[in-house]
A and B are shown apart, each in its own frame.
Chain A
Amino acid sequence: MQFAFNDEQQMLRDSVERFGEEQWSAADRLKRLAEGAEGTARRWAQMAELGWLMLPIAESDGGLGGGPVEIMAIMEGFGRHLMTEAYVSHCVLAPALMQDGGAHCTALLEQVGTGQVRIAAALIEDEGFDVASIRAAAQADGDRFNVTGGKAHVEDGADADWYLVSARTAGVSGEREGVSLFLVPRSADGLTVRRFRSVDGHRHCSLDLVDVAAIPVGAIGGAADRIDAALDRAIVAHLAEAVGSMEAAVAATLDYVRTRQQFGAPIGSFQVVQHKVVDMSVACEEARALTMVAASQLASGGAASSLIAAAKVRVAQCGIAVAQQAVQLHGGVGTSEELVVSHHLRRQMMLDLAHGDRDHHKARFAELTR
């Protein structure tokens, strides 16, 4: 069980921390957000140079083979500084989905590691978060496939060059058998991309596919397990981001209640305020302990999906509660665009939705522990 970063992981963490302070200082946040895709592209190139983008990619796919704990060291910093670059989607989820997926995957992942290509996962349809609840259909045409269907939400998909699309080669919605995974280039004929900005500055999309030529990834019909395993990795990375964000929100709130004067005293001298900050810090501790256990068990290959589902539920509950209280204790100014606390709240709310919300994972936990 690993509860502290080793020297190498600590250096990585420090490097992300420096990057966050320089590139995403709270004072410049609105400017950064206004830059949109151009700013993201600039920072993405810097991250490639730092070697972060290839860190989570398996060595067999030309990456550095960094594990969940290294990714945690990175993602905490993303959370603390609310960096909107889509590291989890492009560097954790896509490589995990494509690991050992064939020569085409290896070639693409090399370009992911250097920052030339971004790949987003299109897994969710109107029926919600379950990986098997999909109707998009892939028709075999010789050794090629054509995919038709709709993907309701593609996390960080707005600026992707390729999409990893789940589609049925057999069975009906709800069945795990028959779920397959395909690569589709953004420029493909028959693909319509609708792009959306989220309240946290992330850039998503939905997809419509009509007879889109697609390249299979991994075994046909057996992708449900591959997708669940990859999602577990992405979820644990997001948990680390949530923990970083929570801790930053608590730190900001502590600073504020120590200095903000009302009734002739710092508001942090009032017990009712103190106890709320305590509950926020207890929530941080719960979230951090769970995330560390989940990351270190995932790293040693012993993480039960039920544990990751549990961590997803609890970290989301804690994260949203912490961010809501951070806004509350800042008072009116907490609701302003200018102050960073409201950005933490917006990110926590969106992190809950990413790859399955609290209710989805609670039901999943109940099912897995039946």
Chain B
Amino acid sequence: MNLDLAPEDRAFQQEVRAFFADSIPEEWKTTVRAGLRLSPENLVAYQRRLADRGWGAPTWPKEYGGTGWTPQQLHIFWSEASAADAPAQFHQGLELIGPIIFTYGSQAQKDFYLPRIISGEDWWCQGYSEPGAGSDLAALRTRATRDGDDYVINGHKMWTSYAHVADRMFVLARTSTEGRRQQGISLMLVDMDTPGIRISPIHTLDEKHHTNEVFLDDVRIPAANLVGEEGMGWNYGKVLLDRERMVAAATAMFLPQTLRAVREAATRRRTTGGLLIDKPEFRAKLAQVEIEALAVQAMVLRLMADAAAGADSGPRGSMVKLRWSELTQQATALWVEALGPKAQHFAALDEGAAPPQDMPLALQGALYARVTTIYGGSSEIQRNIIARRALGL
């Protein structure tokens, strides 16, 4: 979409475009288009490159080492990143725990952790979900017991993405069983090399290793690693609600990458009667997804305008998450359709051979996309949130 940019924003846009023009290696692009994350090493390399440029934390205030960009500048940055097939930055440190630390953390925590997030030195994972606590997170049972200057944590976390590469984990653990379920929950920062942590991979349908179970057996951490006050961990999640609209917005802006890949695949694909891209049935399907993606882009622009005006977006962040996740599923499924019979060639069986173009990434993308309507608050939970907050039902 064309935007009327002020001269200073136009200059900024040129600066960002120039940066992306030569920072994204070709082999990253296909992965990114599939809606898949780059390998952790590559994501760290990308984070370092941004940090060197002073752009390591685009959404953070300047005082914590962020860029202090306006929503308009953020929109430009993400638009250009998306257009250049750059990846989204890994969000668990930057968007999840970082803002909680700079809002509620101690000075020592801010001084130590924040620069390491920006530089890419620390990779964070999120220890929230448990076998019995998914959408109903407050049902979590992991316990943290105070013992002198330490806490001792025992429990079992599930769906801990990237625990296998993370340096640190932020954990929600129960410090009390009194009162309302939410009141006894505390937020703690745990080094992954602390004795007593065992990580077990969860194998997923896309045959990639993203996520894990994490077992915590008498994991002893300093009490200074408690964030804010004991028993207040649940409330700290609320700081994220306002920021989540930015995460949703940023993610949604990368949708056009996948749609470009679909177009390219359909332009290569020969069928009886011509190229797939020229077939009216296919063009109608592609147009439908592209049109809905434009609607989501428009919703993102409105979110950014809210943010610029300091206005509450209400549930619009949830709405963008709902629609973006559905669309990434449709777009990746259409990519598989565009590849046709060759989408069945997931992996080469003979040594030295390679799967066809776009494979296996397109199929992995389509399979991985199924999790997007589940993670970060499932679509059903998002609808509950909107019903309660926006509609008062």
CA–CA, A359 to B284, complex, Å? 8
CB within 8 Å for A302 and B4 given contacts A1-B305, A365-B287: yes
Nearest-Cβ distance from residue B96 to partner chain A, whole angstroms: 24
Let me know if B291 and A281 touch, CB within 8 A. Answer: no
Query: Which of A268, A279, A286 is the one whose CB lies under 8 Å from B393?
Result: A268
List residues of chain B with CB within 8 A of the CB of A362. 284, 287-288, 291
CB within 8 Å for A293 and B298 given contacts A285-B319, A366-B286: yes
Let me know if A310 and B291 touch, CB within 8 A. Answer: yes
Let me know if A302 and B2 touch, CB within 8 A. Answer: yes
Let me know if A282 and B291 touch, CB within 8 A. Answer: no
Nearest-Cβ distance from residue A362 to partner chain B, whole angstroms: 5
Closest to A297 in B: B2
Nearest-Cβ distance from residue A306 to partner chain B, whole angstroms: 9
Within 8 A of B (CB), among A327-370: 359, 362-363, 365-366, 369
List residues of chain B with CB within 8 A of the CB of A363. 280, 283-284, 287
List residues of chain B with CB within 8 A of the CB of A286. 292, 295-296, 298-299, 323
Closest to B278 in A: A370
CB within 8 Å for A1 and B4 given contacts A275-B387, A362-B287: yes
CA–CA, A322 to B159, complex, Å? 36
CB within 8 Å for A281 and B305 given contacts A1-B4, A304-B2, A314-B292: no
Closest to B385 in A: A278
Nearest-Cβ distance from residue B78 to partner chain A, whole angstroms: 15
A144 interfacial contact with B, CB 8 Å: no
Nearest-Cβ distance from residue A72 to partner chain B, whole angstroms: 14
One digit per residue, 1 when the CB lies within 8 angstroms of any chain B CB and 0 when it does not, for chain A 261-301 equals 00000001101011101110110011111101100010010
List residues of chain A with CB within 8 A of the CB of B298. 286, 289-290, 292-293
Closest to A254 in B: B391
Nearest-Cβ distance from residue A212 to partner chain B, whole angstroms: 37
Nearest-Cβ distance from residue B73 to partner chain A, whole angstroms: 14
CA–CA, A221 to B284, complex, Å? 31
A307 interfacial contact with B, CB 8 Å: yes
A313 interfacial contact with B, CB 8 Å: yes
CB within 8 Å for A300 and B383 given contacts A258-B393, A285-B319, A289-B302: no
CA–CA, A275 to B380, complex, Å? 8
* Most chain A CB atoms below 10 A, which of B288, B294, B309, B316: B294
Let me know if B3 and A1 touch, CB within 8 A. Answer: yes
B343 interfacial contact with A, CB 8 Å: no
CA–CA, A13 to B270, complex, Å? 53
B384 interfacial contact with A, CB 8 Å: yes
Let me know if B3 and A277 touch, CB within 8 A. Answer: no
B322 interfacial contact with A, CB 8 Å: yes
Within 8 A of A (CB), among B276-327: 280, 283-284, 286-288, 290-292, 294-296, 298-299, 301-302, 305-306, 309, 316, 319, 322-323
Let me know if A277 and B294 touch, CB within 8 A. Answer: no
Number of residue pairs across A and B with beta carbons under 8 Å?
A: 109
List residues of chain B with CB within 8 A of the CB of A274. 383-384, 387, 391, 393
B347 interfacial contact with A, CB 8 Å: no
CA–CA, A358 to B298, complex, Å? 19
Closest to B288 in A: A362
Let me know if B393 and A257 touch, CB within 8 A. Answer: yes
Closest to B379 in A: A275
Closest to B299 in A: A289
CA–CA, A274 to B299, complex, Å? 22
* Most chain B CB atoms below 10 A, which of A258, A271, A282: A282
A4 interfacial contact with B, CB 8 Å: yes
Nearest-Cβ distance from residue B136 to partner chain A, whole angstroms: 14
Nearest-Cβ distance from residue B197 to partner chain A, whole angstroms: 38
Let me know if A314 and B391 touch, CB within 8 A. Answer: no
Within 8 A of B (CB), among A187-223: none
List residues of chain A with CB within 8 A of the CB of B296. 286
Nearest-Cβ distance from residue B259 to partner chain A, whole angstroms: 10
List residues of chain A with CB within 8 A of the CB of B44. none
B1 interfacial contact with A, CB 8 Å: yes
* Most chain A CB atoms below 10 A, which of B288, B291, B292, B322: B291
CA–CA, A369 to B293, complex, Å? 14
Nearest-Cβ distance from residue B278 to partner chain A, whole angstroms: 9
CA–CA, A257 to B391, complex, Å? 11
* Most chain A CB atoms below 10 A, which of B296, B298, B309, B391: B298
CA–CA, A307 to B299, complex, Å? 14
Let me know if B393 and A3 touch, CB within 8 A. Answer: no
Nearest-Cβ distance from residue B381 to partner chain A, whole angstroms: 11
CA–CA, A310 to B390, complex, Å? 27
Let me know if B305 and A365 touch, CB within 8 A. Answer: no
B137 interfacial contact with A, CB 8 Å: no
Let me know if A293 and B383 touch, CB within 8 A. Answer: no
List residues of chain B with CB within 8 A of the CB of A285. 299, 302, 316, 319
List residues of chain B with CB within 8 A of the CB of A275. 380, 383, 387
List residues of chain A with CB within 8 A of the CB of B386. 278, 281-282
CB within 8 Å for A366 and B390 given contacts A3-B302, A314-B292: no
CA–CA, A282 to B319, complex, Å? 6
List residues of chain A with CB within 8 A of the CB of B316. 285
Nearest-Cβ distance from residue B355 to partner chain A, whole angstroms: 29
CB within 8 Å for A277 and B391 given contacts A300-B4, A362-B288: yes
CA–CA, A277 to B386, complex, Å? 10
Nearest-Cβ distance from residue A304 to partner chain B, whole angstroms: 7
Let me know if A3 and B294 touch, CB within 8 A. Answer: no
CA–CA, A275 to B383, complex, Å? 6
Nearest-Cβ distance from residue B306 to partner chain A, whole angstroms: 8
Q: Can you list 23 A-B contacts with CB-CB less than 8 angstroms, sorted by A residue number?
A: A1-B3, A1-B4, A4-B305, A258-B392, A269-B393, A274-B383, A274-B393, A277-B387, A279-B383, A282-B322, A285-B316, A286-B298, A286-B323, A287-B295, A288-B302, A289-B299, A289-B302, A307-B294, A310-B290, A362-B287, A363-B284, A365-B291, A366-B284
- Listed in ascending order, the chain B residues whose CB lies under 8 Å from chain A are 1-4, 280, 283-284, 286-288, 290-292, 294-296, 298-299, 301-302, 305-306, 309, 316, 319, 322-323, 380, 383-384, 386-387, 390-393
5 tightest A-B CB contacts, nearest first: A289-B298, A274-B387, A3-B305, A366-B287, A366-B283
